[in-house]
Structure 1
Amino acid sequence: MKVSKEIVRLRLYLLCLLGDAVGLLLSFMLANWLMLGAVWGEPGKPHGIVMFAMIAPLYVLLAIQGGAYGIRMLDNVRQGVLRALLALVQASMLMLLIVYLGKIAEQLSRLTFVAGLLLSAGAVTLVRFAIARLGDRLLGEVPHLTVVILDGVVIDTAPHVLLIEAREAGLHPENHDASMAARLAAVVGMAERVVVACPLERMDDWSVALKSLSARGEIVVPEMLRFAPARVDEFASQPTIVVAGGPLQFRDRIIKRLFDFAVASIATILLSPILVAAALAVKLTSAGPILFRQPRLGLDARPFDIYKFRSMRADRTDTKAETLTARDDDRVTAVGRFLRKTSIDELPQLFNVLRGDMSIVGPRPHAAAARAGDSLYWEVDDRYWERHCIKPGMTGLAQVRGHRGATDHHQDLIDRLQSDLEYVTAWSIWRDLRIIVATIGVLVHHKAY
């Protein structure tokens, strides 16, 4: 039996709320018994029931606000679990703040609290997997959230959507009458999002038809692909297409800068013996400066001087990068070859990070004259400049995937660009951490020369 999305969502809310409440209660009672030897606690110490009463309301409010409940849990159980765990962590932090401000910390059994929190994390996880497993049996058939109507145009679609051929379903948007509106409503059911793919000349008709629905109506406009990623806004009451705006919000930029500064500071201190040893090796084995400076394109394509340990003979260095380093390049010194092979020559870029020119993780900075084959980088692919909307990095997604070394062919640059754009459009601090860990495994690489 089909039920509406509102009924499904209500049942999921109630079922999850009940499951989470019972799970939290049992978790803190079990923790109390394990740590204190009694379900109800011992004299002079708050028991698990009190802890449950403090954390449960906070958790429920934060879980609702964070989207840990609802119909989408059935489509993406992992996301539902992550949101529930995030709400639990936030609730525990708020509870600790209340305990501290209330000056009742000494009355709290810390072991009971920690054990109860860990057991609660397991409980809310099990609740969501159980609902996903029993969803069809308990709730009936869940309606499609997204419906795609194909009207003479075929497009690629994501999974878990309902595909409808307009002609086969008897949908004629040019008929602006009650029967068309009723037929459209019956076809899309209780979907929350209706996407139409149609020729340009039928967009006006579909725009009128979709307005009769309570669902969000969208029309695929392939012509906008050349502006992607883009969104619609307005200026002086005129519609505009926003084709650029930077991938990071202000808060994200602050987080990334603080992260970069902290990692670079710690790394500089820990790696100082290697930095000193490399500097001495360069100075004592060949004439010339210890550091090599080269103009590179950074954030907003603005030039900056990148720092490296000099690995070439001073009279043969290429400050414009007009000739990329090749394997067995006779310009490279013996010490320089070791520094390049182990990536130690890149360590002075920690000072670029501290100065704010670079990030720890990001697309690698290129010289303006660098070429892929016989073409300048931006001549190979029109998307090249998109990678400059974020600070360049000491390491990046392209590097940990093995895309480094000489760019003898156009494809060498395209491979790097694909990874760079993937990083730019899906940045997170957790991805930065994963890339840093993965970088350890590619410090010595067969393409490092």
Structure 2
Amino acid sequence: MTTTSATSVSDTGTGHATVPAHEDGRDGASVTGDKRRFILPLGPSLERRRLQIYLSLTAFDALGIAIAFLSVGLTLTRVDDRNILANLVLLFIPVFWTIALSLRLYSVRALISSRFAQVRVVYSVFGAVTALIFMAYLAHSPLAIGRLSMGFNVLAAVIVLASIRTLVRPLILRRCGPTVENVLIIDDGGASVRVPGAWIVQAHEHNLKPDFCDPHMLDRLGLFMTNMDRVLVSCAPERRAAWAMIFKGSNVSGEIVDPDVYSLGVVGARRSHSFGTLIVSVGPLSLQDRAVKRGMDITAAGCALLFLLPLLITVAIVIRLEDKGPVFFRQQRQGRNNRLFWIYKFRSMSALRLDQAGARSASRDDDRITRIGQIIRRTSIDELPQLINVLRGDMSLVGPRPHAIGSLAGNKRFWEVDPRYLLRHSLKPGLTGLAQVRGLRGATDTETDLTYRLQADLEYLDGWTVLRDLKIILGTIRVLVHEKAY
């Protein structure tokens, strides 16, 4: 942010007041005692600059699409088809703009995150292609172009538009800064708050009060808030209502800091007719995501059972022949919504020494394990019957591994070590998971063993994608035989 030197003006005056200068830093820019001073407003309007960048990007995108399509077209299409290609470009650009706007390709987040912008570029290009195909079908349009040529056009457009986002990144940083927004924090005696690149103003040093009955104070507050995209106030609970009234009358996004929001893990708020609530939990997956994940589970588990059927029958026969005991071991585990279910495994321990509660974890030289049990545990074959659990809907292919109810970390129950352990039950437990891919398996002899696994599980819960599940499934193949598989 730029600074402007000025002579001191009384803090109680109106109009262009001055406040001490700041230096940009990672923890925000503090407007406190310094001999250099600024003229209010604190910073230039970034809204106008963002609009200029959005307009520039739309023009660059149109140019990029034209270059991508025409460069490929001049190479791959016949001379007679080049007029068709030119018409396609003229149709493609407005459709792309429309879909890009709906996908927030021209948004603050897209300016901040290059990865977000590039992903949205891919979605927008393929969305535009799909929309054009659908429109051409409905209109019985004679417009036609070869599939190979169209495929290269789309690929070239994605590459060019993604490259544009990389090339304009320095311009965005120079024009709008790393946060792309002006953020003001007013410290009115509340909890300490730090936002990278924000302006921090001490209310008592600049005589700022939420007095909506004083026109001069309102004018002064408005001067501080000028050109700010977000204003946060940290104050005592009894002053929140007054600050809220100030914000409601200001043309600004106003926020009041509440430490409980962080400590409770609040994800939103809801206002009813006579009361308000803080939303502290929501399902980690949407209906669409659950449908996709369930479809993957049924397809993969069904195919795996058919493919592995000879192996499963062979293992079952050998287990039965060794000590005449049952083939399967069943144990109650806790699944999604904290509901108990019966998990299936090939029995790997002596039929007379089974541990239904799971109070004792298996060890490397465990005397309860049978000869065939040693083999199937080290190769993870004993877990294969859980494909039945996947088909039944008790489990998923990928998710936090379900633990026995009596399991201990050191001498404590898992939830006693860390209450966040219960968060794992917001998803179906998995046949494999992020912790298993990272080699975090085997006995939990210490509390640290559980902590590492829990951290991996919480990381998985943070954001589900099909690609992440596929990576975990492929990664599991590498750790089927593992030194801690006993």
Equivalent position of 1:65 in the other structure: 102
**Which residue of the partner structure matches residue 135 of structure 2?**
98
User: Of the candidates 260, 270, 277, which is equivalent to residue 297 of structure 2?
Assistant: 260
What CA distance in whole angstroms lies between the structure 2 residues aligned with 1:292 and 1:11? Answer: 66
What's the offset of the Cα at 1:143? 5.7
Residue number in structure 1 paired with 2:284: 247
The superposition leaves residues 47-68 of structure 1 with CA deviations (integer Å, 9 ceiling, x where unpaired) of 3213223322221100011111
Deviations 1:81-131 (A, max 9, x none): 111211111111222333445556894212221111111011111222222
| Residue of structure 2 in register with 1:5 after alignment | 46
Counterpart position of 1:430: 467
Q: 1:353 aligns with which of 377, 390, 398?
A: 390
Structure 1 residue 175: Cα displacement? 7.0
* Alignment correspondent of 1:24: 65
Does the CA contact (< 8 Å) of 1:181 and 1:212 recur in 2?
no
- C-alpha contact 2:136 2:143 (8 A) present in aligned 1: no
- Inter-CA distance 85–214: structure 2 relative to 1 (3 Å threshold): same
Q: How far is 1:330 from its partner?
A: 0.7
Name whichever of 201-210 and 303-312 sits farther off: 201-210
1:47 partner SS: helix
Q: Measure how far apart 1:207 and its partner are.
A: 2.4
> Aligned residues: percent identity?
38
Give the distance between the partners of 1:374 and 1:390, measured in 2 at CA: 27
Provide structure 2 residue ranges, at least 5 long, that are not aligned to the other structure.
3-42
Which deviates the most, 314-323 or 199-208?
199-208
User: In the superposition, relative to structure 1, how do residues 204 and 237 fare at CA in structure 2: closer, same or farther (>3 Å)?
Assistant: closer
3-state SS of the aligned residue for 1:190? Answer: coil
Among 212, 215, 218, the alignment partner of 2:252 is 215
SS in 2 for 1:197: strand
What are the within-5 Å matches in structure 2 for residues 94-133 of structure 1?
A: 94-101=131-138, 107-133=144-170
Change (3 A) 1:3 1:71: farther
| TM-superposed deviation, 1:246 | 2.1
For residue 356 of structure 2, what is the aligned residue in structure 1? Answer: 319
For residues 410 and 464 of structure 2, the distance between their equivalents in structure 1, rounded to whole angstroms, comes to 30
Q: Which runs of 5+ in 1 are unaligned?
A: none
The alpha-carbon deviation at position 356 of structure 1 amounts to 0.5
- Give the TM-score taking structure 1 as reference length: 0.89
Hey, what's the Cα distance between the residues in 1 that align with 2:229 and 2:378? Answer: 54
Is residue 5–residue 142 contact of structure 1 (8 Å, CA) maintained in 2?
no
SS in 1 for 2:185: strand
Change in Cα spacing, 1:337 to 1:151, as seen in structure 2 (3 Å) is farther
Following the alignment from structure 1 to structure 2, what is the Cα–Cα distance between the partners of residues 345 and 431?
25
Larger deviation, residues 204-213 vs 296-305: 204-213
- Tell me if the contact between 1:372 and 1:408 (Cα under 8 Å) persists in the aligned partners: yes
Query: What is the distance in 2 between the residues matched to 1:141 and 1:244?
Result: 31
Residue 325 of structure 1 aligns to which amino acid in structure 2? A
Say yes or no: does 1:393 pair with 2:430: yes
Matched, 1:372 2:405: no
CA shift at 1:359, angstroms? Answer: 0.9
Cα distance, 1:268 vs structure 2? 2.6
1:144 matched to 2:172? The reply is no
Residue 345 (structure 2) aligned to one of 308, 330, 343: 308
Give, in whole Å, the separation in 2 of the partners of 1:131 and 1:413.
Answer: 45
The alignment's C-alpha RMSD in Å is 2.7
1:88 to 122, 125, 145: 125
> Is the CA contact (8 Å cut-off) linking 2:301 and 2:387 kept in structure 1?
yes
Which residue is 1:233 aligned to?
Answer: 270
